[in-house]
Amino acid sequence: MKWTELSDNWCPVARTLSIVGDRWTLLILRDCFLGLSRFEQFIESSGMTRHILAERLKRLVEAGILERRLYSDGPKRYDYVLTDKGQELAPALMTLKDWGKKHMPVRRATSA
């Protein structure tokens, strides 16, 4: 079974994961909760490649979790902000944060 087919699974956890349960998506959302909204900011903060970021942002917008917003006419530039639906993922991020603080101590410093 492919992972994408989970979107219609009987289990709400599986349905949620069909959107946010891959390698980087929740990290983008973390950045949103930290107040970041632009492409280059996500790149710098998360360390993911532009390629993947672009694809994930597209999916998050389609899913109604982020909104793509024109912030500069002139050279047209867009940024990304959480919708209400996206905001409601805050508790999930909090629980993951709490678990990480308790159970995943840092071994050595990294740049990102």
Binding site residues, its own copies, CB under 8 A = 1, 3, 5-24, 26-27, 30, 47-49, 85, 88-89, 91-104, 106-110, 112
Among 68, 88, 92, 100, binds DNA (CB under 7 A): 68
Task: Give CA angle at 112 (51, 40), nearest 5°.
Answer: 40
Q: Interface with DNA includes 33 (CB under 7 A)?
A: no
The torsion angles phi and psi of 80, rounded to 5 degrees, stand at -130, 130
Q: Interface with DNA includes 93 (CB under 7 A)?
A: no
Instruction: Report DSSP letters for 65-111, one per residue.
Output: SEEEEEEETTTTEEEEEE-HHHHTTHHHHHHHHHHHHHH----S---
Q: Interface with DNA includes 69 (CB under 7 A)?
A: no
The residues of the shown chain that bind DNA, judged by CB under 7 A, are 1-4, 22-24, 38-41, 48-52, 54-55, 57-58, 68, 74-79
